[in-house]
Amino acid sequence: SQKIEQNSEALNIQEGKTATLTCNYTNYSPAYLQWYRQDPGRGPVFLLLIRENEKEKRKERLKVTFDTTLKQSLFHITASQPADSATYLCALVENYGQNFVFGPGTRLSVLP
């Protein structure tokens, strides 16, 4: 069966450390993988996209890796800040944007 999982429901880290979130999937063949941030009571906000032929993508303090052999993406936030506290969602994109599959999310808390 098809499944997409994110490593944990909640993750607490200390300010200044690197947060690493994991997204694993089975039985999908995504052309793209995306990461979104969602704050309570609001819609998700797009952060980064990585293509199936890319190993790594960076944007400011964010880094995403994508391993299609392991069927896994890692999302890193370096020098984390309390303002980074939110729920982070990964999403697989298949069929030229006709099919989006979201993971359940990881709630990150950065403690001062």
Partner 1 sequence: NAGVTQTPKFQVLKTGQSMTLQCAQDMNHNSMYWYRQDPGMGLRLIYYSASEGTTDKGEVPNGYNVSRLNKREFSLRLESAAPSQTSVYFCASSTTSGDPYEQYFGPGTRLTVT
Tokens of 34: 């995306």
From 84, 103, 108, 110, residue interacting with partner 1 (rule: CB under 8 A): 103
Cα–Cα distance measured from residue 81 to residue 66, given in angstroms and rounded to the nearest whole number: 24
Q: Does 108 bind partner 1 (CB under 8 A)?
A: no
Tokens of 70: 């392991």
From 3, 46, 79, 82, residue interacting with partner 1 (rule: CB under 8 A): 46
Cβ–Cβ < 8 Å for 20, 88? no
- Cα–chain-centroid distance for residue 13? 16
Stretch that binds partner 1, among 19-27, 63-71, 73-81, 102-110 (CB under 8 A): 102-110
Q: Does 29 bind partner 1 (CB under 8 A)?
A: no
Q: Does 30 bind partner 1 (CB under 8 A)?
A: no
